[in-house]
Structures are given as structure tokens and as C-alpha cells.
């Protein structure tokens, strides 16, 4: 799990699972130098994936990590990637109150 900071305050909490059968080299990855996400992007290709967006009430652990109240509404992004039909990683990003996702078409 990872807490992402902005101006010294938590703004996102990341829970990630990696299929170590597909990515065994992750066991010795240099995470003192690079985040798990950055290492995966640089090291492991993916051929497909999916993303979903939702809102949830903050549970106790996530609320503690994000320094918000339990039950606060949080924006959540779920993402799963695969390589040639094999699951590589799935993650859930919880964003604290006030986060805004912007997209231009």
C-alpha cells in the first residue's frame, strides 16, 4: 500500500496487488529509488486493461491513511492490467475529498 502526498498531505491511498507468477522480478525491484507503479510501467508491458470509477464511503484504514473521517465520500479508480491474457496487476486508488478528475476530448 502507498500513500501519495501533495504539499506534505495525503491526497491518495493506493492498494495494489501484483501477480508474482507473471512478474517474479518484482520481488527484487529497487523500490527505494522508484515507485511500484513507475517500475511496472518501465519494466512490464501490458496488452489490455480496464478502468472503473466509483465513489465509496471511507473505511477505517483508508480514512486513517488519508487523514479524513471514516464514512467520508471518496472518489475511487480501479484499474487492472493483463499481458497476453494473464493478470499482471490490479490496483485501487482512493482520493480524498476535493479531488477532481479532468479530461478533455
Task: Specify whether the CB–CB gap between 25 and 43 falls below 8 A.
Answer: yes
Q: Is the confidence at residue 80, as pLDDT, over 90?
A: yes
In a domain, 101, yes or no: no
Q: For all residues of the chain together, what is the average pLDDT? A: 91
Work out how many domains the chain is built from and give that number: 1
* Average pLDDT rounded to a whole number, residues 81-85: 90
Q: Provide the domain limits for residue 86.
A: 2-95
Q: Say what the pLDDT of residue 51 is.
A: 95
The per-residue pLDDT for range 27-69, each reduced to its tens digit, is: 888 888 888 888 888 888 888 999 999 999 999 999 999 999 9
Q: What is the pLDDT of residue 29?
A: 87
Amino acid 15: pLDDT: 94
Q: Is residue 17 situated within a structural domain?
A: yes
- Identify the band that residue 16 occupies on the pLDDT scale cut at 50, 70 and 90: very high
For residue 103, being part of any structural domain is answered with no
Domain annotation covers residue 31:
yes
Q: What CATH number has the domain bearing residue 45?
A: 3.40.1410.10
Is there a domain that residue 21 lies in? yes
In this predicted model, which residue has the larger pLDDT, 56 or 97?
A: 56
Question: Secondary structure of 1-57 in the HEC alphabet?
Answer: CEEEEECCEEEEEEEEEECCCCCHHHHHCCCCCCCHHHHHHHHCCCCEEEEEEEEEE
pLDDT recorded at residue 64: 96
- Tell me which H or E stretch contains 68: none
Amino acid at each position: 500500500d502507498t500513500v501519495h502526498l501533495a504539499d506534505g498531505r495525503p491526497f491518495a491511498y493506493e492498494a495494489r496487488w501484483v501477480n508474482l507468477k507473471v512478474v517474479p522480478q518484482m520481488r527484487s525491484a529497487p523500490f527505494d529509488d522508484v515507485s511500484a507503479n513507475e517500475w511496472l510501467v518501465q519494466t512490464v508491458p501490458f496488452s489490455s486493461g480496464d478502468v472503473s470509477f466509483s465513489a465509496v464511503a471511507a473505511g477505517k484504514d483508508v480514512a486513517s491513511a488519508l487523514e479524513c473521517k471514516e464514512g467520508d465520500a471518496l472518489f475511487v479508480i480501479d484499474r487492472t492490467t493483463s499481458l497476453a491474457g494473464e493478470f499482471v496487476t490490479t490496483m485501487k486508488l482512493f482520493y480524498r475529498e476535493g479531488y477532481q478528475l479532468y479530461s478533455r476530448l
